[in-house]
């Protein structure tokens, strides 16, 4: 280590089980769903629901699904691409920086990553949650956890957070480049499928409680980007991509996947959208998944297998997916610029 203290970068991804076994999936799901920013209901109710119903019911099935995308050589796709991104960013930033990777849930953990950074007596640390659109349940949870753990530090370097990069130009370029690996003229319709959130969480970003959020979104969210509204940031990402690709408004739909429970989540649901498009006679769909910066169970299974099969059963023919940012050098350049532009 040089005499001059290094600058730190902490990349934080959501997380993945350590292996595709029922026991490891139980551990992962329990930690994930017990986060009060993810399941924003009282602790006792959350515990009964998560540990008594959801995890016992879902763990075995989820473990089987993970096993279908797991590689003997590289393991979890999310872990593989996350490590690759960390290594590539480290190479781009050089010796002045130290880049750590952590998962919000499971390993490598945020506590261990922060211990490594603390021991280096850094001048500064920048935290980049690997979620392009801000949501309290994702980016908010990461920032909350980092701040909680750093309260115990006896010295404080300069600390900064990147809360959102939903319309980052280089990120949009990578998504457009990946889309052009397909012949866009062959597709009847384009889906922009984002991870879902309970509707009740949207309005909570306003500390005054004045943000009125209808049950299923609002027209203004489709036209404007409000600082910390997840829904409007999803539309902002979509606008940037469709403008880059010149996709007309009538040929694409924004929708939301991975809902849980019976409470209303952001609509339209991806599953319902597939039904509607099949009824309209659409045969070939191309799906974008811009909420994820690395391919994972939501893209490799939920979209490419579950939704693809569902669409075919309804009379459709093909569902193809635009790959995630993964190890794109242009995406790593985007991360590098985030570090440099945030004064680290």
Gap between the Cα atoms of 290 and 79, Å rounded: 18
For the chain, the distance separating the N- and C-terminal CA atoms, rounded to the nearest angstrom, is 18
Task: Please indicate if the annotation marks 180 as binding a ligand.
Answer: no
Task: Please indicate if the annotation marks 298 as binding a ligand.
Answer: yes
103 backbone dihedrals φ, ψ, rounded to 5°: -110, 140
Buried b (16+ CB within 10 A) or exposed e, 181-216: eeeeeebbbbbbbbbbbbbebbebbeeeeeeebeee
Beta bridge partners of 269: 256
> Are the beta carbons of 63 and 18 closer than 8 angstroms?
no
Q: At what angle do helices 329-341 and 77-93 cross, to 10 degrees?
A: 60
Q: Is the backbone peptide bond immediately before 268 cis, with ω within 30 degrees of 0?
A: yes
> Are the beta carbons of 226 and 217 closer than 8 angstroms?
no
Gap between the Cα atoms of 21 and 30, Å rounded: 14
**Within 10 A of 219 (CB to CB), how many other CB atoms are there?**
8
Own/partner contacts of 178-186, CB < 8 Å, gap of 24 or more, are 178/322, 178/323, 178/324, 178/328, 179/241, 179/245, 179/286, 179/288, 179/322, 180/245, 181/322, 181/323, 182/286, 182/320, 182/322, 184/245, 184/247, 184/286, 186/284
Residue 11's SS3 state is strand
DSSP state of 44: H
Residues making up the binding site for Fe(2+): 195, 298
Residues making up the binding site: 195, 298
């Amino acid at each position: 280590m040089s005499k001059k203290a290094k600058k730190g970068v902490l990349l934080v991804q959501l997380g993945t089980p350590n292996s595709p076994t029922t026991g490891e999936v139980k551990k992962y799901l329990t930690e994930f769903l017990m986060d009060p920013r993810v399941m924003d209901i009282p602790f006792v109710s959350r515990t009964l629901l998560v540990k008594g119903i959801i995890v016992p019911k879902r763990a075995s099935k989820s473990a089987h699904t993970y096993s279908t995308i797991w590689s003997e050589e590289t393991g979890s796709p999310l872990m593989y691409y996350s490590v690759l991104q960390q290594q590539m960013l480290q190479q781009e930033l050089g010796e002045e920086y130290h880049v750590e990777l952590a998962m919000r849930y499971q390993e490598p953990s945020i506590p261990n990553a922060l211990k490594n950074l603390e021991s280096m007596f850094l001048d500064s640390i920048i935290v980049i949650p690997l979620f392009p659109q801000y949501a309290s349940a994702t980016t908010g949870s990461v920032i909350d956890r980092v701040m909680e753990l750093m309260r115990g530090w006896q010295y404080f370097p300069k600390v900064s957070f990147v809360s959102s990069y939903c319309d980052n130009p280089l990120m949009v370029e990578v998504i457009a480049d990946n889309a052009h690996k397909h012949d866009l003229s062959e597709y009847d319709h384009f889906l922009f499928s984002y991870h879902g959130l309970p509707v009740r969480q949207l309005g909570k970003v306003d500390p005054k409680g004045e943000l009125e959020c209808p049950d299923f979104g609002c027209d203004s969210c489709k036209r404007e980007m409000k600082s910390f509204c997840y829904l409007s940031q999803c539309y902002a990402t979509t606008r940037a991509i469709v403008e880059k690709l010149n996709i007309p408004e009538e040929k694409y739909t924004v929708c939301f996947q991975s809902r849980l429970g019976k409470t209303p989540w952001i609509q339209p649901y991806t599953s319902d959208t597939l039904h509607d498009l099949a009824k309209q006679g659409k045969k070939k769909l191309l799906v974008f998944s811009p909420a994820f910066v690395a391919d994972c169970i939501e893209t490799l299974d939920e979209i490419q297998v579950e939704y693809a099969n569902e669409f075919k059963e309804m009379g459709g023919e093909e569902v193809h997916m635009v790959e995630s940012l993964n190890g794109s050098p242009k995406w790593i350049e985007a991360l590098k610029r985030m570090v440099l532009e945030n004064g680290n």
